[in-house]
Structure 1
Amino acid sequence: MAEIFKSLLLSVLTQQCYDEYFVKYNFFDELCFKSTLSKGLGIGIIAGSILVKVPQILKILGNKSAEGINIFGVFLELFAITANFSYSYIMKFPFSAWGDGTFLAIQTATIAALVLNYSGAPTKAGIFLAMYTGLVSILASGYTPVNILWNMQAMNVPIIFIAKTIQVVTNYKNGSTGQLSALTCFLLFGGSIARIFTSIQETGDFIIILTYCVSTLANGALVFQLLWYWNVDKTTKNKNKKKKRN
Protein backbone atom coordinates (compact mmCIF):
# COMPACT_ATOMS: atom_id res chain seq x y z
CA MET A 1 0.00 0.00 0.00
CA ALA A 2 2.85 2.37 0.88
CA GLU A 3 4.48 1.77 -2.52
CA ILE A 4 1.21 2.44 -4.35
CA PHE A 5 0.78 5.67 -2.39
CA LYS A 6 4.35 6.67 -3.20
CA SER A 7 3.82 5.94 -6.90
CA LEU A 8 0.73 8.14 -6.94
CA LEU A 9 2.60 10.98 -5.26
CA LEU A 10 5.50 10.67 -7.70
CA SER A 11 3.09 11.27 -10.56
CA VAL A 12 2.81 14.81 -9.20
CA LEU A 13 6.05 15.23 -7.24
CA THR A 14 9.64 14.87 -8.40
CA GLN A 15 11.80 12.44 -6.43
CA GLN A 16 13.63 15.41 -4.90
CA CYS A 17 10.40 17.03 -3.72
CA TYR A 18 9.11 13.70 -2.40
CA ASP A 19 12.24 13.44 -0.28
CA GLU A 20 11.87 17.06 0.89
CA TYR A 21 8.26 16.49 1.98
CA PHE A 22 8.21 12.90 3.24
CA VAL A 23 11.81 12.19 4.27
CA LYS A 24 13.09 15.56 5.49
CA TYR A 25 9.59 16.84 6.35
CA ASN A 26 10.48 20.19 4.80
CA PHE A 27 7.05 21.42 3.68
CA PHE A 28 8.19 24.99 2.99
CA ASP A 29 10.61 24.40 0.14
CA GLU A 30 9.82 27.16 -2.40
CA LEU A 31 11.02 25.34 -5.52
CA CYS A 32 9.10 22.19 -4.64
CA PHE A 33 5.97 24.21 -3.91
CA LYS A 34 6.10 25.83 -7.37
CA SER A 35 6.88 22.52 -9.05
CA THR A 36 4.07 20.67 -7.25
CA LEU A 37 1.59 23.48 -7.88
CA SER A 38 2.50 23.47 -11.57
CA LYS A 39 2.09 19.69 -11.86
CA GLY A 40 -1.19 19.79 -9.98
CA LEU A 41 -2.53 22.59 -12.18
CA GLY A 42 -1.37 20.75 -15.28
CA ILE A 43 -3.15 17.56 -14.29
CA GLY A 44 -6.25 19.57 -13.34
CA ILE A 45 -6.25 21.34 -16.70
CA ILE A 46 -5.90 18.04 -18.55
CA ALA A 47 -8.79 16.55 -16.56
CA GLY A 48 -10.91 19.60 -17.28
CA SER A 49 -9.97 19.63 -20.97
CA ILE A 50 -11.60 16.24 -21.45
CA LEU A 51 -15.00 17.93 -21.21
CA VAL A 52 -14.22 21.64 -21.66
CA LYS A 53 -15.79 21.95 -25.13
CA VAL A 54 -18.50 19.35 -24.62
CA PRO A 55 -21.02 22.06 -23.57
CA GLN A 56 -20.33 23.80 -26.88
CA ILE A 57 -20.78 20.56 -28.83
CA LEU A 58 -24.01 19.71 -26.98
CA LYS A 59 -25.35 23.22 -27.58
CA ILE A 60 -24.78 22.87 -31.34
CA LEU A 61 -26.32 19.39 -31.41
CA GLY A 62 -29.25 20.41 -29.23
CA ASN A 63 -30.14 23.41 -31.38
CA LYS A 64 -29.15 21.66 -34.63
CA SER A 65 -27.44 24.91 -35.52
CA ALA A 66 -23.95 26.42 -35.55
CA GLU A 67 -25.25 29.96 -35.96
CA GLY A 68 -22.79 32.62 -34.82
CA ILE A 69 -19.76 30.30 -34.90
CA ASN A 70 -17.24 31.38 -37.52
CA ILE A 71 -15.74 28.32 -39.23
CA PHE A 72 -12.54 30.14 -40.20
CA GLY A 73 -11.99 31.08 -36.58
CA VAL A 74 -12.48 27.44 -35.57
CA PHE A 75 -9.98 26.26 -38.20
CA LEU A 76 -7.37 28.76 -37.04
CA GLU A 77 -7.89 27.76 -33.41
CA LEU A 78 -7.52 24.09 -34.36
CA PHE A 79 -4.26 24.85 -36.16
CA ALA A 80 -2.94 26.62 -33.05
CA ILE A 81 -3.88 23.74 -30.74
CA THR A 82 -2.42 21.13 -33.11
CA ALA A 83 0.85 23.03 -33.55
CA ASN A 84 1.18 23.40 -29.78
CA PHE A 85 0.73 19.77 -28.78
CA SER A 86 2.73 18.44 -31.76
CA TYR A 87 5.70 20.70 -30.96
CA SER A 88 5.51 19.92 -27.23
CA TYR A 89 5.28 16.16 -27.88
CA ILE A 90 8.32 16.15 -30.17
CA MET A 91 10.27 18.33 -27.71
CA LYS A 92 9.46 15.78 -24.98
CA PHE A 93 7.98 18.33 -22.58
CA PRO A 94 6.10 16.78 -19.61
CA PHE A 95 2.61 15.56 -20.55
CA SER A 96 1.20 17.71 -17.76
CA ALA A 97 2.40 20.77 -19.72
CA TRP A 98 0.56 20.03 -22.96
CA GLY A 99 -1.72 16.98 -22.59
CA ASP A 100 -4.86 19.10 -22.63
CA GLY A 101 -4.05 19.98 -26.25
CA THR A 102 -4.89 16.46 -27.42
CA PHE A 103 -8.39 16.58 -25.93
CA LEU A 104 -8.96 20.16 -27.07
CA ALA A 105 -7.94 19.19 -30.60
CA ILE A 106 -10.43 16.31 -30.71
CA GLN A 107 -13.25 18.51 -29.46
CA THR A 108 -12.35 21.48 -31.69
CA ALA A 109 -12.17 19.20 -34.74
CA THR A 110 -15.62 17.87 -33.79
CA ILE A 111 -16.97 21.43 -33.57
CA ALA A 112 -15.48 22.25 -36.99
CA ALA A 113 -17.13 19.15 -38.48
CA LEU A 114 -20.49 20.07 -36.89
CA VAL A 115 -20.29 23.63 -38.23
CA LEU A 116 -19.62 22.25 -41.73
CA ASN A 117 -22.42 19.71 -41.34
CA TYR A 118 -25.04 22.23 -40.19
CA SER A 119 -23.90 24.64 -42.91
CA GLY A 120 -25.12 22.11 -45.46
CA ALA A 121 -21.82 20.40 -46.23
CA PRO A 122 -21.83 16.96 -44.51
CA THR A 123 -19.47 15.48 -47.12
CA LYS A 124 -16.93 18.23 -46.47
CA ALA A 125 -17.21 17.49 -42.75
CA GLY A 126 -16.21 13.85 -43.32
CA ILE A 127 -13.33 14.78 -45.65
CA PHE A 128 -12.09 17.35 -43.16
CA LEU A 129 -11.96 14.81 -40.30
CA ALA A 130 -10.05 12.30 -42.45
CA MET A 131 -7.53 14.92 -43.60
CA TYR A 132 -7.02 16.25 -40.09
CA THR A 133 -6.34 12.77 -38.69
CA GLY A 134 -3.72 12.22 -41.39
CA LEU A 135 -2.08 15.59 -40.68
CA VAL A 136 -1.76 14.90 -36.95
CA SER A 137 -0.20 11.50 -37.68
CA ILE A 138 2.45 13.16 -39.84
CA LEU A 139 3.24 15.95 -37.36
CA ALA A 140 3.59 13.59 -34.38
CA SER A 141 5.45 10.88 -36.29
CA GLY A 142 8.90 12.28 -35.59
CA TYR A 143 9.65 12.68 -39.29
CA THR A 144 8.53 16.31 -39.43
CA PRO A 145 11.61 18.57 -38.90
CA VAL A 146 11.64 20.31 -35.52
CA ASN A 147 12.24 23.72 -37.13
CA ILE A 148 8.93 23.35 -39.02
CA LEU A 149 7.11 22.51 -35.78
CA TRP A 150 8.78 25.48 -34.05
CA ASN A 151 7.70 27.81 -36.85
CA MET A 152 4.16 26.45 -36.60
CA GLN A 153 4.23 27.11 -32.86
CA ALA A 154 5.56 30.64 -33.47
CA MET A 155 2.70 31.25 -35.92
CA ASN A 156 0.29 30.50 -33.07
CA VAL A 157 0.75 33.98 -31.63
CA PRO A 158 -0.82 35.86 -34.57
CA ILE A 159 -3.12 32.94 -35.44
CA ILE A 160 -4.76 32.78 -32.01
CA PHE A 161 -5.17 36.54 -32.05
CA ILE A 162 -6.73 36.47 -35.54
CA ALA A 163 -8.94 33.45 -34.78
CA LYS A 164 -10.43 35.00 -31.66
CA THR A 165 -10.69 38.41 -33.31
CA ILE A 166 -12.76 36.87 -36.13
CA GLN A 167 -15.16 35.44 -33.54
CA VAL A 168 -15.24 38.72 -31.59
CA VAL A 169 -16.07 40.66 -34.79
CA THR A 170 -18.73 38.08 -35.72
CA ASN A 171 -20.33 38.50 -32.30
CA TYR A 172 -20.19 42.28 -32.62
CA LYS A 173 -21.84 42.25 -36.06
CA ASN A 174 -24.56 39.87 -34.84
CA GLY A 175 -25.06 41.83 -31.63
CA SER A 176 -25.06 38.45 -29.88
CA THR A 177 -22.76 35.53 -29.00
CA GLY A 178 -25.07 33.09 -30.81
CA GLN A 179 -24.35 29.42 -30.09
CA LEU A 180 -21.17 30.11 -28.11
CA SER A 181 -21.19 28.23 -24.81
CA ALA A 182 -20.53 30.47 -21.80
CA LEU A 183 -19.19 27.55 -19.74
CA THR A 184 -16.71 26.58 -22.46
CA CYS A 185 -15.46 30.16 -22.85
CA PHE A 186 -14.99 30.64 -19.10
CA LEU A 187 -13.13 27.32 -18.77
CA LEU A 188 -10.83 28.14 -21.69
CA PHE A 189 -10.09 31.55 -20.18
CA GLY A 190 -9.24 30.07 -16.78
CA GLY A 191 -7.20 27.27 -18.36
CA SER A 192 -5.11 29.66 -20.46
CA ILE A 193 -4.28 31.74 -17.36
CA ALA A 194 -3.12 28.62 -15.50
CA ARG A 195 -1.11 27.47 -18.53
CA ILE A 196 1.05 30.60 -18.39
CA PHE A 197 2.30 29.49 -14.96
CA THR A 198 2.70 25.80 -15.85
CA SER A 199 4.55 26.67 -19.07
CA ILE A 200 7.01 28.86 -17.18
CA GLN A 201 7.60 26.10 -14.64
CA GLU A 202 7.68 23.01 -16.86
CA THR A 203 8.93 24.12 -20.28
CA GLY A 204 10.66 27.48 -19.95
CA ASP A 205 9.96 27.81 -23.68
CA PHE A 206 9.43 31.50 -24.49
CA ILE A 207 7.29 30.94 -27.58
CA ILE A 208 4.86 28.67 -25.69
CA ILE A 209 4.63 31.12 -22.78
CA LEU A 210 3.94 33.99 -25.19
CA THR A 211 1.29 31.90 -26.95
CA TYR A 212 -0.63 31.35 -23.72
CA CYS A 213 -0.36 35.06 -22.81
CA VAL A 214 -1.98 35.99 -26.14
CA SER A 215 -4.54 33.18 -25.71
CA THR A 216 -5.51 34.55 -22.28
CA LEU A 217 -6.10 38.04 -23.68
CA ALA A 218 -8.10 36.65 -26.62
CA ASN A 219 -10.24 34.34 -24.46
CA GLY A 220 -10.76 37.23 -22.07
CA ALA A 221 -12.24 39.30 -24.91
CA LEU A 222 -14.80 36.55 -25.62
CA VAL A 223 -15.69 36.28 -21.93
CA PHE A 224 -16.23 40.04 -21.85
CA GLN A 225 -18.59 39.77 -24.85
CA LEU A 226 -20.51 36.92 -23.24
CA LEU A 227 -21.13 39.09 -20.19
CA TRP A 228 -21.92 42.14 -22.33
CA TYR A 229 -24.45 40.34 -24.55
CA TRP A 230 -25.88 38.17 -21.77
CA ASN A 231 -29.19 40.06 -21.50
CA VAL A 232 -29.38 40.51 -25.28
CA ASP A 233 -29.26 36.73 -25.83
CA LYS A 234 -31.92 36.17 -23.15
CA THR A 235 -34.22 38.77 -24.73
CA THR A 236 -33.77 37.21 -28.18
CA LYS A 237 -34.66 33.74 -26.87
CA ASN A 238 -37.78 35.06 -25.15
CA LYS A 239 -38.92 36.83 -28.35
CA ASN A 240 -38.40 33.62 -30.35
CA LYS A 241 -40.47 31.65 -27.83
CA LYS A 242 -43.32 34.18 -28.08
CA LYS A 243 -43.26 34.02 -31.89
CA LYS A 244 -43.52 30.21 -31.80
CA ARG A 245 -46.52 30.39 -29.44
CA ASN A 246 -48.25 32.88 -31.67
Structure 2
Amino acid sequence: YQMAANSTIIPVFLAGWLQMLAPDDCFDEFFVKFNFFDVPCLKIFISKCLGYAIICGSFVVKVPQIVKILTAKSGRGISLVSVTLELLAISATWAYGAGHNFPFSSYGEALFLAIQTSIIAFLVFFYAGRTSAGLVYVSVYVACMAFLLSPAIPVGLLTVLQAGNIFVASFSKCIQAWENFTNSSTGQLSVVTVYMLFLGSCARIFTSIQETGDLMVISSYCLSSICNCIIAVQLVYYWNSPPCQDRGGIAKKTS
Protein backbone atom coordinates (compact mmCIF):
# COMPACT_ATOMS: atom_id res chain seq x y z
CA TYR A 1 0.00 0.00 0.00
CA GLN A 2 0.93 3.67 -0.23
CA MET A 3 3.93 4.70 1.85
CA ALA A 4 4.71 7.96 3.65
CA ALA A 5 7.95 8.25 1.70
CA ASN A 6 10.11 6.04 -0.49
CA SER A 7 12.60 5.48 2.31
CA THR A 8 10.21 4.55 5.12
CA ILE A 9 7.75 1.75 5.68
CA ILE A 10 5.34 4.00 7.60
CA PRO A 11 1.93 4.31 5.86
CA VAL A 12 0.87 7.83 4.87
CA PHE A 13 -2.12 7.99 7.22
CA LEU A 14 0.09 7.07 10.18
CA ALA A 15 3.03 9.25 9.17
CA GLY A 16 0.93 12.40 9.52
CA TRP A 17 0.19 11.60 13.16
CA LEU A 18 3.75 10.57 13.92
CA GLN A 19 5.09 13.81 12.49
CA MET A 20 3.13 15.65 15.17
CA LEU A 21 5.28 13.85 17.74
CA ALA A 22 8.53 13.68 15.78
CA PRO A 23 8.64 16.64 13.41
CA ASP A 24 11.10 17.35 10.60
CA ASP A 25 14.48 15.64 10.91
CA CYS A 26 13.40 13.63 13.94
CA PHE A 27 10.88 11.74 11.83
CA ASP A 28 13.72 10.65 9.55
CA GLU A 29 15.89 9.70 12.53
CA PHE A 30 13.18 7.53 14.06
CA PHE A 31 11.29 6.10 11.12
CA VAL A 32 13.76 6.16 8.23
CA LYS A 33 17.08 5.50 9.95
CA PHE A 34 15.38 3.76 12.90
CA ASN A 35 17.71 5.57 15.27
CA PHE A 36 15.52 5.73 18.37
CA PHE A 37 18.38 6.80 20.63
CA ASP A 38 19.07 10.22 19.12
CA VAL A 39 18.99 12.29 22.34
CA PRO A 40 17.81 15.66 20.94
CA CYS A 41 15.00 13.98 18.99
CA LEU A 42 14.13 11.77 21.93
CA LYS A 43 13.68 14.88 24.10
CA ILE A 44 11.44 16.44 21.47
CA PHE A 45 9.43 13.24 21.14
CA ILE A 46 8.94 12.92 24.91
CA SER A 47 8.04 16.60 25.15
CA LYS A 48 5.46 16.30 22.38
CA CYS A 49 3.95 13.17 23.95
CA LEU A 50 3.72 14.87 27.34
CA GLY A 51 2.28 18.02 25.77
CA TYR A 52 -0.51 16.22 23.95
CA ALA A 53 -1.15 14.00 26.97
CA ILE A 54 -1.60 17.13 29.09
CA ILE A 55 -3.98 18.57 26.50
CA CYS A 56 -6.00 15.35 26.45
CA GLY A 57 -6.09 15.35 30.24
CA SER A 58 -7.18 18.98 30.26
CA PHE A 59 -10.46 17.96 28.60
CA VAL A 60 -11.59 16.55 31.93
CA VAL A 61 -9.13 17.82 34.55
CA LYS A 62 -11.67 20.11 36.20
CA VAL A 63 -14.73 17.98 35.52
CA PRO A 64 -14.43 16.28 38.96
CA GLN A 65 -14.44 19.75 40.53
CA ILE A 66 -17.50 20.78 38.53
CA VAL A 67 -19.29 17.54 39.39
CA LYS A 68 -18.48 17.98 43.07
CA ILE A 69 -19.98 21.48 43.08
CA LEU A 70 -23.08 20.29 41.23
CA THR A 71 -23.51 17.33 43.57
CA ALA A 72 -23.11 19.42 46.70
CA LYS A 73 -25.11 22.29 45.18
CA SER A 74 -22.57 24.56 46.80
CA GLY A 75 -19.34 26.36 46.01
CA ARG A 76 -18.35 26.44 49.67
CA GLY A 77 -14.60 26.58 50.24
CA ILE A 78 -13.85 27.74 46.71
CA SER A 79 -12.46 31.26 46.60
CA LEU A 80 -13.92 33.25 43.72
CA VAL A 81 -10.93 35.59 43.86
CA SER A 82 -8.60 32.61 43.49
CA VAL A 83 -10.66 31.19 40.61
CA THR A 84 -10.66 34.56 38.84
CA LEU A 85 -6.92 35.03 39.20
CA GLU A 86 -6.36 31.48 37.99
CA LEU A 87 -8.57 32.20 34.99
CA LEU A 88 -6.52 35.32 34.24
CA ALA A 89 -3.30 33.31 34.44
CA ILE A 90 -4.64 30.55 32.19
CA SER A 91 -5.90 33.11 29.69
CA ALA A 92 -2.56 34.94 29.61
CA THR A 93 -0.78 31.66 28.85
CA TRP A 94 -3.28 30.88 26.10
CA ALA A 95 -3.02 34.32 24.48
CA TYR A 96 0.78 34.46 24.83
CA GLY A 97 1.27 31.03 23.28
CA ALA A 98 -1.09 31.75 20.40
CA GLY A 99 0.32 35.24 19.85
CA HIS A 100 3.89 33.95 19.63
CA ASN A 101 2.93 31.00 17.42
CA PHE A 102 4.26 28.44 19.89
CA PRO A 103 3.39 24.81 19.10
CA PHE A 104 -0.16 24.05 20.22
CA SER A 105 1.23 21.15 22.24
CA SER A 106 3.02 23.68 24.47
CA TYR A 107 -0.06 25.60 25.60
CA GLY A 108 -3.19 23.92 24.21
CA GLU A 109 -4.55 22.84 27.58
CA ALA A 110 -5.09 26.50 28.48
CA LEU A 111 -8.07 26.60 26.11
CA PHE A 112 -9.87 23.74 27.84
CA LEU A 113 -8.84 24.82 31.34
CA ALA A 114 -10.24 28.29 30.63
CA ILE A 115 -13.61 26.86 29.63
CA GLN A 116 -13.84 24.66 32.71
CA THR A 117 -12.60 27.38 35.07
CA SER A 118 -15.24 29.75 33.68
CA ILE A 119 -17.89 27.14 34.43
CA ILE A 120 -16.62 26.79 38.00
CA ALA A 121 -16.73 30.56 38.48
CA PHE A 122 -20.28 30.68 37.15
CA LEU A 123 -21.36 27.86 39.46
CA VAL A 124 -19.95 29.70 42.48
CA PHE A 125 -22.14 32.67 41.53
CA PHE A 126 -25.10 30.44 40.71
CA TYR A 127 -25.15 28.59 44.02
CA ALA A 128 -24.72 31.88 45.85
CA GLY A 129 -27.99 33.01 44.28
CA ARG A 130 -26.34 35.47 41.89
CA THR A 131 -26.98 33.99 38.47
CA SER A 132 -27.13 37.37 36.70
CA ALA A 133 -23.74 38.35 38.07
CA GLY A 134 -22.39 35.01 36.88
CA LEU A 135 -23.68 35.59 33.35
CA VAL A 136 -22.12 39.06 33.28
CA TYR A 137 -18.84 37.58 34.56
CA VAL A 138 -18.71 34.99 31.78
CA SER A 139 -19.76 37.49 29.10
CA VAL A 140 -17.03 39.95 30.07
CA TYR A 141 -14.47 37.16 30.06
CA VAL A 142 -15.47 35.99 26.56
CA ALA A 143 -15.22 39.56 25.27
CA CYS A 144 -11.76 40.00 26.80
CA MET A 145 -10.51 36.74 25.30
CA ALA A 146 -11.85 37.71 21.88
CA PHE A 147 -9.65 40.80 22.06
CA LEU A 148 -6.59 38.98 23.42
CA LEU A 149 -6.73 36.41 20.62
CA SER A 150 -7.37 38.94 17.87
CA PRO A 151 -4.67 40.29 15.51
CA ALA A 152 -5.28 43.73 17.03
CA ILE A 153 -3.57 42.82 20.30
CA PRO A 154 -0.05 44.31 20.58
CA VAL A 155 2.63 41.68 21.13
CA GLY A 156 4.11 43.88 23.85
CA LEU A 157 0.87 43.67 25.83
CA LEU A 158 0.95 39.88 25.63
CA THR A 159 4.48 39.94 27.02
CA VAL A 160 3.39 42.16 29.90
CA LEU A 161 0.46 39.84 30.63
CA GLN A 162 2.70 36.78 30.63
CA ALA A 163 5.19 38.52 32.91
CA GLY A 164 2.37 39.34 35.31
CA ASN A 165 1.12 35.79 34.95
CA ILE A 166 4.14 34.54 36.91
CA PHE A 167 2.82 36.31 39.99
CA VAL A 168 -0.92 36.09 39.31
CA ALA A 169 -0.86 32.29 38.96
CA SER A 170 1.04 31.91 42.21
CA PHE A 171 -1.06 34.47 44.06
CA SER A 172 -4.29 32.76 43.01
CA LYS A 173 -3.09 29.48 44.49
CA CYS A 174 -1.87 31.22 47.64
CA ILE A 175 -5.33 32.70 48.16
CA GLN A 176 -6.89 29.24 47.88
CA ALA A 177 -4.27 27.81 50.23
CA TRP A 178 -5.00 30.57 52.75
CA GLU A 179 -8.72 29.91 52.38
CA ASN A 180 -8.11 26.25 53.20
CA PHE A 181 -5.94 27.19 56.17
CA THR A 182 -8.38 29.67 57.70
CA ASN A 183 -11.30 27.27 57.23
CA SER A 184 -9.24 24.25 58.37
CA SER A 185 -10.91 22.50 55.46
CA THR A 186 -10.58 22.22 51.69
CA GLY A 187 -14.35 22.49 51.24
CA GLN A 188 -15.53 21.37 47.81
CA LEU A 189 -12.05 21.15 46.28
CA SER A 190 -11.65 17.98 44.23
CA VAL A 191 -8.63 15.84 45.04
CA VAL A 192 -8.56 14.48 41.47
CA THR A 193 -8.51 17.96 39.96
CA VAL A 194 -5.87 19.29 42.33
CA TYR A 195 -3.49 16.39 41.79
CA MET A 196 -3.98 16.41 38.01
CA LEU A 197 -3.16 20.12 37.96
CA PHE A 198 -0.07 19.50 40.08
CA LEU A 199 1.24 16.72 37.84
CA GLY A 200 0.37 18.69 34.71
CA SER A 201 2.21 21.81 35.84
CA CYS A 202 5.28 19.71 36.70
CA ALA A 203 5.26 18.11 33.25
CA ARG A 204 4.84 21.52 31.64
CA ILE A 205 8.20 22.63 33.04
CA PHE A 206 9.91 20.04 30.85
CA THR A 207 7.78 20.66 27.76
CA SER A 208 8.23 24.44 28.03
CA ILE A 209 12.00 24.06 28.21
CA GLN A 210 11.99 21.83 25.14
CA GLU A 211 9.41 23.58 22.97
CA THR A 212 9.56 27.27 23.83
CA GLY A 213 12.70 28.00 25.83
CA ASP A 214 10.76 31.00 27.13
CA LEU A 215 12.00 31.88 30.63
CA MET A 216 8.74 33.57 31.62
CA VAL A 217 6.68 30.53 30.71
CA ILE A 218 9.08 28.17 32.46
CA SER A 219 9.15 30.32 35.61
CA SER A 220 5.37 30.48 35.65
CA TYR A 221 5.05 26.70 35.61
CA CYS A 222 7.75 26.29 38.27
CA LEU A 223 5.92 28.56 40.70
CA SER A 224 2.58 27.02 39.76
CA SER A 225 3.92 23.55 40.55
CA ILE A 226 5.08 24.68 44.00
CA CYS A 227 1.72 26.27 44.80
CA ASN A 228 -0.24 23.29 43.47
CA CYS A 229 1.91 21.08 45.67
CA ILE A 230 0.97 23.12 48.75
CA ILE A 231 -2.75 22.71 48.03
CA ALA A 232 -2.26 19.01 47.31
CA VAL A 233 -0.61 18.60 50.72
CA GLN A 234 -3.48 20.50 52.35
CA LEU A 235 -5.97 18.09 50.82
CA VAL A 236 -4.23 15.25 52.61
CA TYR A 237 -3.78 17.19 55.86
CA TYR A 238 -7.43 18.32 56.05
CA TRP A 239 -8.81 15.07 54.62
CA ASN A 240 -10.98 14.22 57.64
CA SER A 241 -11.74 17.80 58.67
CA PRO A 242 -15.44 18.72 58.62
CA PRO A 243 -16.29 21.51 56.15
CA CYS A 244 -17.03 24.88 57.65
CA GLN A 245 -18.65 28.06 56.39
CA ASP A 246 -16.51 29.58 53.67
CA ARG A 247 -15.09 33.03 54.14
CA GLY A 248 -13.54 33.79 50.80
CA GLY A 249 -16.34 32.95 48.40
CA ILE A 250 -19.57 34.84 47.83
CA ALA A 251 -22.09 35.36 50.53
CA LYS A 252 -25.38 33.82 49.50
CA LYS A 253 -28.29 36.16 49.16
CA THR A 254 -30.94 35.95 51.80
CA SER A 255 -34.53 36.69 51.05
- Alignment TM class, shorter chain as reference: over 0.9
Counterpart residue identity of residue 140, structure 2: M
Q: Show the counterpart of 1:53.
A: 62
Q: Show the 5 A alignment for 1:78-227.
A: 78-227=87-236
**Could you report, residue by residue, the CA deviation over 1:133-183 in whole angstroms, capped at 9, with x for unpaired residues?**
111100000211111111111111111121111111111111110000000
Q: 1:32 aligns with which of 29, 41, 63?
A: 41
For 2:87 and 2:125, the matched residues in 1 are separated by 14
Q: 1:62 aligns with which of 71, 85, 90?
A: 71
SS in 1 for 2:150: coil
**Structure 2 stretches lacking a partner, 5+ long:** 3-10, 244-255
Q: Percent identity?
A: 45
Counterpart residue identity of residue 116, structure 1: F
Q: 2:35 matched to 1:18?
A: no
How far does residue 15 in structure 1 lie from its aligned partner after superposition? 2.2
Counterpart residue identity of residue 75, structure 1: T
Q: 2:52 matched to 1:43?
A: yes
For 1:22 and 1:145, the matched residues in 2 are separated by 41
**Structure 1 stretches lacking a partner, 5+ long:** 235-246
How far does residue 119 in structure 1 lie from its aligned partner after superposition? 1.5
After superposing on structure 2, the runs of 4+ consecutive aligned residues of structure 1 that deviate more than 6 Å are: none
How far does residue 37 in structure 1 lie from its aligned partner after superposition? 0.2
Counterpart residue identity of residue 175, structure 2: I
Q: Show the counterpart of 2:17.
A: 8
For 2:51 and 2:170, the matched residues in 1 are separated by 23
Q: TM-score, normalised by structure 2?
A: 0.90
SS in 2 for 1:167: helix
Bigger helix share: 1
How far does residue 33 in structure 1 lie from its aligned partner after superposition? 0.4
How far does residue 213 in structure 1 lie from its aligned partner after superposition? 0.3
**Is the Cα–Cα contact under 8 Å of residues 177 and 233 in structure 1 kept in the other structure?**
no
For 2:61 and 2:229, the matched residues in 1 are separated by 16
For 2:157 and 2:93, the matched residues in 1 are separated by 12
Counterpart residue identity of residue 122, structure 1: T
**Is the Cα–Cα contact under 8 Å of residues 49 and 104 in structure 1 kept in the other structure?**
yes
How far does residue 129 in structure 1 lie from its aligned partner after superposition? 1.0
For 2:209 and 2:196, the matched residues in 1 are separated by 20
How far does residue 233 in structure 1 lie from its aligned partner after superposition? 4.4
**Could you report, residue by residue, the CA deviation over 1:50-101 in whole angstroms, capped at 9, with x for unpaired residues?**
0000000010011100000000000000000001110110100000000000
